[in-house]
Amino acid sequence: MRVHTLRLVGSSGTNKVMGGELGRLSKRHLSKFLPKPEKAGTGTLVFPFDADLAQLALTYHRTSTRVLWDLFNSNAARLEPLYDELLADVKADDRALFRDGDGISVRARNVAAFAAGERQVVGVVKNAIIDGMATRGVNLRVDPDLPNVELVVRMRDDTLTVSIDLAGRSMSKRGYRQDAGEAPMREHMAAVLLMLARYNPKADILLDPMCGSGTIPIEAALMARATPLWPDNHPVAAQSMLEFEGRDWSAEPLFADAQPAIIANEIEVDVVNKMRMNVERAGVDADIAIVQGDFRELDLERVMSLARRRNPDLTTGVILCNPPFGERLRPDDLENLYHDLQYFGRGFPGWRAAFIVANPDFETAYGVRPRIKKPLTTGQLRGYFYLYDL
């Protein structure tokens, strides 16, 4: 069955955050409110397909990991009916999906419930697409390494959906982070945390006391101005697709007049050097004050002094970080660290503190009841997001 929807995929539990960010961008850039998305899980937004909204998401949306154009649904339970149904749908489709000579690849996600192996599903979908387009005079070739169009096959309940990946790669790979260091946080997750912490660059200083390679501070600076995701030399796949032919993909920050004040502290000298390079590559060195040292030695007076150099009007803020969760520290050291974070926060009255931690002992060791506690998965680790009023 032919479908025509725009699907934004993110981490589990982030659909409201993704919707909030997209709504803000749409109102600013397109001057319109978003339609209500379909219910499709806790990490997915599905809208009627809109090329303007798709381009907006591909250019600015920082909390998603994939932007997909859904083409076909099937409830076939076996390979033969799946091929026949997709072949008929492709033959009858009048959309300009591919150029003659395009190379395609197909990858599958979450298809374990189908009564065949993943490679078989991929093969059948690939053959149906190629054979169906050939009847329309469009010849496609298989190119798993450098495809013009990457197709994605997903299952939810009993429905298999075939989509085009409009970015052609993970939306998390922004290009500025050449050396992520140990236990890196993915870029889109840093953006999610900023949204959950309700970071407002017009009102808040942002302090990351254990920032590692700087992903949270960098995303905060880029998000404050709604800076385009990709450098000019990293075009997304949609730019060469027929559906988007003739569109202007040049883009400027949507909030260019923002003046974020961000403090990034890290104790390890070599990690600070890596962070400094990432900050420079991202082009946000004017927005971020980099500090090397133990966060316990930072106080409100020094933080305010650093912040005033970037925006003298800010008087309160948010402490946001991803503290260690146990791989490199002993349990006693972790408990002391978590307690020290709580004591550190006392020096910032009127601020908020937010953490994502994949350690079940954090809440007890921190010793204060959170205002918000939300399950959140980062990478392969299941953890919690905590928000506190200080």
CATH assignment of the domain containing 105: 3.30.2130.30
Six-digit token string for 123? 């093969």
CATH assignment of the domain containing 349: 3.40.50.150
For residue 178, what pLDDT is reported? Answer: 72
Q: How far is CA 123 from CA 108, 119, 230, in A?
A: 10, 6, 32
For residue 379, what pLDDT is reported? Answer: 62
**Residue 72, in any domain of the structure:** yes
Structural domain tally of the chain? 2
Q: Are residues 286 and 383 in the same domain?
A: yes
For residue 324, what pLDDT is reported? Answer: 82
Q: Are residues 131 and 71 in the same domain?
A: yes
**Range 302-306 contact pairs with CB under 8 angstroms and sequence separation of 24 or more:** 303/205, 303/207, 303/263, 303/348, 304/205, 306/261, 306/263
**Residue 25, in any domain of the structure:** yes
Report CA torsion sign: 26, 31, 32, 33: positive
For residue 175, what pLDDT is reported? Answer: 83
**Residue 194, in any domain of the structure:** yes
**Residue 144, in any domain of the structure:** yes
Report CA torsion sign: 251, 255, 257, 260: negative
Six-digit token string for 44? 């997915």
Query: Which residues, in sequence order, are CB contacts of 316 under 8 Å at separation 6+?
Result: 203, 204, 205, 350, 351
For residue 182, what pLDDT is reported? Answer: 60
Q: SS3 letters for 207-232?
A: EECCCCCCHHHHHHHHHHCCCCCCCC
Q: Are residues 14 and 149 in the same domain?
A: yes
Q: Are residues 120 and 218 in the same domain?
A: no
Q: Are residues 153 and 201 in the same domain?
A: no
For residue 332, what pLDDT is reported? Answer: 65
For residue 179, what pLDDT is reported? Answer: 63
**Residue 232, in any domain of the structure:** no
For residue 380, what pLDDT is reported? Answer: 63
Q: How far is CA 38 from CA 5, 46, 116, 161, 249, in A?
A: 10, 5, 28, 15, 28
Helix spans in 176-299 (H) = 187-196, 215-224, 269-282
Flag residues of the chain having pLDDT under 70.
179-183, 233, 326-332, 378-381
For residue 334, what pLDDT is reported? Answer: 82
The type of residue at 162 is: V
d(CA 378, CA 296): 26
Q: Are residues 287 and 383 in the same domain?
A: yes
**Residue 177, in any domain of the structure:** no
For residue 69, what pLDDT is reported? Answer: 97
Q: Are residues 209 and 156 in the same domain?
A: no
Among candidates 6, 28, 10, 29, which has minimal Cα distance to 18? Answer: 10
For residue 211, what pLDDT is reported? Answer: 93
Sheet holding 66-74, edge to edge: 44-48, 2-9, 66-74, 159-165, 149-156, 103-109, 141-142
For residue 331, what pLDDT is reported? Answer: 60
Among candidates 12, 10, 44, which has minimal Cα distance to 377? Answer: 12
Q: Are residues 219 and 281 in the same domain?
A: yes
Q: Are residues 221 and 357 in the same domain?
A: yes
Look up the domain containing 103 and give its range.
Answer: 2-165
**Residue 381, in any domain of the structure:** yes
Helix spans in 225-330 (H) = 269-282, 300-308
For residue 381, what pLDDT is reported? Answer: 67
**Residue 287, in any domain of the structure:** yes
Q: Are residues 191 and 319 in the same domain?
A: yes
Q: Are residues 196 and 330 in the same domain?
A: yes
Which letter does DSSP use for residue 113 in this model? T
Q: Are residues 143 and 218 in the same domain?
A: no
